Amino acid sequence: MLVLVAPGQGAQKPGFLTPWLDLPGVSERLTWWSAVSGLDLIHYGTKADEEEIRDTAVAQPLLVAAGLVAAHALFGEGGEGATGLAELPNRIGAVAGHSVGEITAAVASGVLTDEAAMVLVRRRGLAMAEAASRSETGMAAILGGERDDVVAHLDKHGLTPANVNGAGQIVAAGTAEQLAALAEDKPEGVRRVVPLKVAGAFHTDHMAPAVAALEALVAGVPVADPRTRYVSNRDGGVVATGAGVIERLVAQVSNPVRWDLCMETFQELGVTGLIEVAPGGTLTGIAKRALPGVTNVALKTPDDLATARALIEEHAVPVDTPAEEELREA
């Protein structure tokens, strides 16, 4: 069984969209999504420097657009449905995204249209940037240590394990003072505490204002139920309804990302292959350590599409959308 995953913030690099513009229809699609989101995605994906695309309000729409470009290129146009990804549920057994990548996954599963996703992610990025500006907060990667020991140590300092990624990766988030204290008092077995170049403490209570802003928006967003399994960052659960997906997308802004539990669900579902949409590399890197024996393909440029299509032919089986009683929605 194949899983399609989408990366989160930090995966972007200057110029990473440039090779994708050589594919038919990509420039036109990005121009349309730029109009929808109010952001020049072609400029930011091809000409902007590292500092410009680090901006949360820019990075989030850019990442979702890149993931959708790659998904459309992989599965092609045509068929029923507004997303043009009608063939995906027949080939992919589950989808998931890391943090903002969950919005990409929502389109891939048929919950959101491309346009709704671009409106939602632009508002998400702006709201999170605004929330981050209210106080000096940040995030730091913790290298080494045992998960339970690290989490207990973070709690002592008032920090949140904002990303629990599996394969020994935990990201702490909190105030600048709390992170400075952590750097001076590392958990047992931890080699390094590495500050991350992000605007604030994402996936913590510091993002509560962004949650309120998104709750005011999503009541009118048109949604459909997932056409393939949608695995949530909240707890690795498979979500049965479009309304459930949207509720979790909003709440997840101020709650930790449990990518470790998503990978546990992949294993329970019998994953044999994993494809990461553009800008691929981060999640396949984690999977290589946490999911031994699973074949991975990262879509970094269009040159990777042939390898991904070969993986689909080898591992994909037709997947019926599971009945609701079979889903593990919390």
CATH number at residue 178: 3.30.70.250
Single residue among 176, 196, 216 that ends a domain in this structure = 196
120 and 250 both lie in a single domain = yes
115 and 12 both lie in a single domain = yes
Q: Tell me what the pLDDT averaged over the chain comes to.
A: 91
CB 57 within 8 A of CB 37: no
125 and 147 both lie in a single domain = no
Taking Cα atoms as reference points, which of 40, 46, 42, 39 lies closest to residue 14? 46
Single residue among 196, 219, 241 that ends a domain in this structure = 196
65 and 80 both lie in a single domain = yes
What is the per-residue pLDDT for 320? 52
**Other Cβ atoms closer than 10 A to 303:** 9
Percent share of the chain, pLDDT over 70: 93
Catalytic site residue 99?
Answer: yes
Residue, of 324 and 202, whose pLDDT is higher: 202
214 and 299 both lie in a single domain = yes
CB 9 within 8 A of CB 139: no
Catalytic site residue 203?
Answer: yes
- pTM score above 0.85: yes
Q: Which of 123-127, 157-161, 189-193, 219-223 has the lowest mean pLDDT?
A: 189-193
**pLDDT over 90 at 328, yes or no:** no
111 and 257 both lie in a single domain = yes
Range of the domain at 149: 134-196
Whole-angstrom distance, CA of residue 187 vs CA of residue 140: 13
Averaging pLDDT over each range in 96-110, 133-147, 157-171, which range is the top one? 96-110
Residue, of 67 and 145, whose pLDDT is higher: 67
CB 204 within 8 A of CB 128: no
32-43 pLDDT, tens digit each = 999 999 999 999
When divided into structural domains, the chain yields a total of: 2
57 and 121 both lie in a single domain = yes
**pLDDT over 90 at 71, yes or no:** yes
Sequence-separated (6 or more) residues with CB below 8 Å from residue 168: 143, 144, 145, 147, 289
Single residue among 196, 224, 244 that ends a domain in this structure = 196
267 and 187 both lie in a single domain = no
179 and 229 both lie in a single domain = no
28 and 82 both lie in a single domain = yes
**pLDDT over 80 at 99, yes or no:** yes
Q: Which of 203, 206, 232, 254 is catalytic?
A: 203
CATH number, position 53 = 3.40.366.10
98 and 35 both lie in a single domain = yes
Sequence-separated (6 or more) residues with CB below 8 Å from residue 103: 64, 97, 112, 117, 120, 121, 124, 249
Whole-angstrom distance, CA of residue 53 vs CA of residue 16: 11
For the segment 14-40, the average pLDDT, to the nearest whole number, is 97
86 and 125 both lie in a single domain = yes
What is the per-residue pLDDT for 326? 44
What is the per-residue pLDDT for 84? 64
Q: Which of 99, 109, 232, 254 is catalytic?
A: 99
